[in-house]
Amino acid sequence: MLRLTGWLVCLLVAVGFLPPTGAITPALAAASLPPTYWMVGADGSLYSLGSAGSFGSLQGQPLNKPVVGMAATPDGRGYWMVASDGGVFAFGDAGFYGSMGGQPLNRPVVGMAGTPDGRGYWMVASDGGVFAFGDALYRGSLASTALPAPIVGMAVTSSLDPYFPGTTGYDISWPQCGSPYPSPPFSLAVVGVGGSRTFMHNPCLADEVAWFGSATVTLYVKLSSPTFGTPSQATTGPAGTCAAVDTRCQGYNYGWNLVVDAYHYASSQGVSAGLWWLDVERPAGTTDPLWSSDTAANSQVVAGAIDALTVLGVQAGVYSNSYQWPLIVGTYAPVVPMWQARPNSPPAEQYCTGALFTPGPVWLVQYANSPFDQDLAC
């Protein structure tokens, strides 16, 4: 039996992944080899199992506090170790982005996790306090929550939420063509790809995206029922060739074809984003409606659009509000992020957690529309 110098505190597994389409590139093929892992001792000793490489350790080094966890970089060529006082030690290609070493802590750190791109990390304390470094976004903590037992670890999941919580910006589209754009400062922007009706395009797309410079820019495309846009685009598509009375089939094809058309247009303009919002508003019976009263068919438009974005490799989100959403799509509830449409309803922060219309999290709240739509990142 192998005798370890110091109790083991963390086990990290480096795993491969496949994109939604299942396509395997050479890099992904290498990443999907059998997983290997490291273990780390409280004294900073490193133990490499399988083909995991050794890039250094703290064995024999004086430590202020014991090591309590570690995290690996995405390529498996580096790792971080964290001590209970929040001190961070980087090895291999792991970058150092800061630590809590030397800072007063209410409770000791018990674990850490790296961001998906390896350019940041979080650490967690036993009271649920969370500390974010590098490009790791702070999403809240349990530090002020009465817990039945201490926190002992943390894990991270991938997210395409690009916004830093609390930042603000604007959304603009074709109506702003030829007019002044919003003045700085702004930290985020959402730019419309489409025109006044579905399957039309924003001629100022590239210019508007460029206007926002280094701000976080995402895109949106307006959806509608086929009859309020280009009905011929609903006839054929991934749902097949639809019968004249099969509105659900037509709806799915329409949503899919609309997103693919918008995506190709954006690409032709040199514009891309990892997050696309689907604009779902103006139900039947309102002024200038975009949707029929057939909620089942309408929901298929949204479903087709979400599926198309997924296949294209980008995150889909929906823009609407808790009043209009059920009037348009009924009980349809996709698990995608929300952009809450709440113009002139401050404080915007309350809509980060309230008035939800899908099971997904709220990433943006639109909170004003004079003279431009303004948005808050949740």
- Residue found under tokens 């498996």: 76
Residue 245 confidence (pLDDT) above 70: yes
pLDDT tens string 289-346:
999 999 999 999 999 999 999 999 899 999 999 999 999 999 999 999 999 998 776 7
Residue 14 confidence (pLDDT) above 90: no
pLDDT tens string 182-216:
999 999 999 999 999 999 999 999 999 999 999 99
- Average pLDDT of the residues in 275-301: 97
Give me the pLDDT at residue 347, please. Answer: 82
% pLDDT > 70, the chain: 90
- Average pLDDT of the residues in 249-256: 98
d(CA 357, CA 370): 25
d(CA 282, CA 133): 42
Strand partners, 11: 39
Give me the pLDDT at residue 34, please. Answer: 57
Residue 159's CB: how many other CB atoms inside 10 A? 14
φ and ψ of 142, to 5 deg:
-115, 20
Helical axes 295-311 vs 247-268, angle rounded to 10°:
40
% pLDDT > 90, the chain: 76
φ and ψ of 294, to 5 deg:
-85, 90
C-alpha pair distances (Å), 298 with each of 230, 259, 327, 336? 15, 15, 10, 17
Q: What is the dihedral of CA 102, 106, 111, 116, to 10 degrees?
A: -80
Mean pLDDT computed over every residue of the chain: 88
All domains in the chain, ordered by first residue: 8-134 (no CATH), 168-377 (3.20.20.80)
At residue 10 the predicted structure's pLDDT band, cuts being 50, 70 and 90, is very low
Residue 31 confidence (pLDDT) above 60: no
At residue 156 the predicted structure's pLDDT band, cuts being 50, 70 and 90, is confident
Give me the pLDDT at residue 4, please. Answer: 32
Strand partners, 13: 37
- Average pLDDT of the residues in 45-66: 93
Residue 129 confidence (pLDDT) above 80: yes
d(CA 28, CA 32): 6
**Tally of CA atoms within 13 A in the half-sphere of 324 that contains its CB:** 21
| Nearest C-alpha neighbor of 315 from the set 275, 280, 278 | 275
d(CA 83, CA 29): 34
Of 29-43, 96-110, 167-181, 268-282, give the lowest mean pLDDT range: 29-43
One-letter amino acid at 22 equals G
Of 8-17, 137-146, 151-160, give the lowest mean pLDDT range: 8-17
At residue 50 the predicted structure's pLDDT band, cuts being 50, 70 and 90, is confident
d(CA 245, CA 241): 12
Residue 369 confidence (pLDDT) above 80: no
* Cα 340 off chain centre by: 16
d(CA 25, CA 19): 10
Give me the pLDDT at residue 36, please. Answer: 83
CB-based contacts of 128, cutoff 8 Å, min separation 6: 141, 142, 143, 145, 147, 151
Q: What is the DSSP string of 171-208?
A: EE-GGGTTSPPPPSP-SEEEEE-B-SSTT-B-TTHHHH
Alpha helices per DSSP H over the chain: 26-31, 205-211, 247-268, 295-311, 324-329
